[in-house]
Amino acid sequence: MSRNLAHQTKDFRVSQNFLTSAALIRRVVGLAKLEAYDHVVEIGAGKGHLTKQLLSYCRTVTAVEIDRKLYQRLAETYSGTPGLRLYCGDFLTWPLPKTPFKVFANIPFNQTTSIIKKLTECPTLQEAWLVVEKGAAKRFAGKPQESLSSLLLKPFFELSIRYHFKREDFHPLPKVDCVLLQLKRKASPDLSPSDFPAYRRFLTQCFDNRRGGIRALLTHKQISTALKREGLSCDRPSANMLYVQWLCLFRCSRKFSK
């Protein structure tokens, strides 16, 4: 193993806490309502506790594990198992499937942002169920208020927190609260892919107070008029606006910039 991969392995192992209760794993995997024809990717298969349950639902499971010792243990445990593909390597450099797939994984918390970015930029991802730190899940889901992270995902994905774990559900015991975050691709996205770069620039400007925020792009009258025309409330400060209001204002900004 290269020195770089060995360093990554150490970081991944330190940041990952494993679910061990078979009953709990059955309960949370059951929430995903997986079908036999689904192709499910597991990130950080670890000791295979989730892998075993996923195989009971789906004919095709791909498990990616960066730790060589854990990978070798998985390979021995599941040798000859139909429908299971095992890979040893870094998920962040692993090529994602070119055909539709879902994800169910207890991911390393220190890689949450990078993993979600990679998954949501992949056009063949249908749905992801991720065990993540509660604070990160709330940021991506836009709870209690929208963040730049949540607003960049919501044109294409529905996000919700589906389960709240106890710290005692994990080994070793995590120092943070953990939840199950669902990301489901929208059948009809709210933006076209060609509009997304402009939407991202708009939001980046709005969240950058040093550049004047949203007031540098739209006047108060333009903001209130655009929201009223769509039947949306216009009395919220920008920090507390809902996703639908941000989307409305982006479309308004596009009209005024033409």
- Write down the domain spans for the chain: 3-185, 196-257
Please name the amino acid found at residue 228. Answer: K
Write out pLDDT tens, residues 60-95.
999 999 999 999 999 999 999 999 999 999 999 999
Place of tokens 């529905």: 158
Please name the amino acid found at residue 12. Answer: F
Q: Alpha-carbon distance 108 to 189, whole Å?
A: 29
Q: CATH number of the domain at 196-257, out of 1.10.3470, 1.10.8, 1.25.40, 1.10.10?
A: 1.10.8
Is the separation of the CB atoms in 148 and 207 below 8 Å? yes
Quick one: pLDDT at residue 230? 83
Indicate the class that CATH gives domain 3-185. Answer: alpha beta
Cα–Cα distance list, 175 to 16, 20, 64, 135, 163 (Å):
11, 17, 25, 12, 18
Question: What DSSP state is assigned to residue 231?
Answer: T
pTM across the whole model: 0.89
Task: Report the sign of the C-alpha dihedral through residues 229, 230, 235, 238, in that order.
Answer: negative
Q: Alpha-carbon distance 82 to 246, whole Å?
A: 47
Q: Alpha-carbon distance 118 to 129, whole Å?
A: 14
Write out pLDDT tens, residues 194-212.
999 999 999 999 888 766 7
Q: At what angle do helices 243-257 and 196-206 cross, to 10 degrees?
A: 110
| The Cα angle at residue 57 between residues 56 and 60, in degrees rounded to 5 | 95
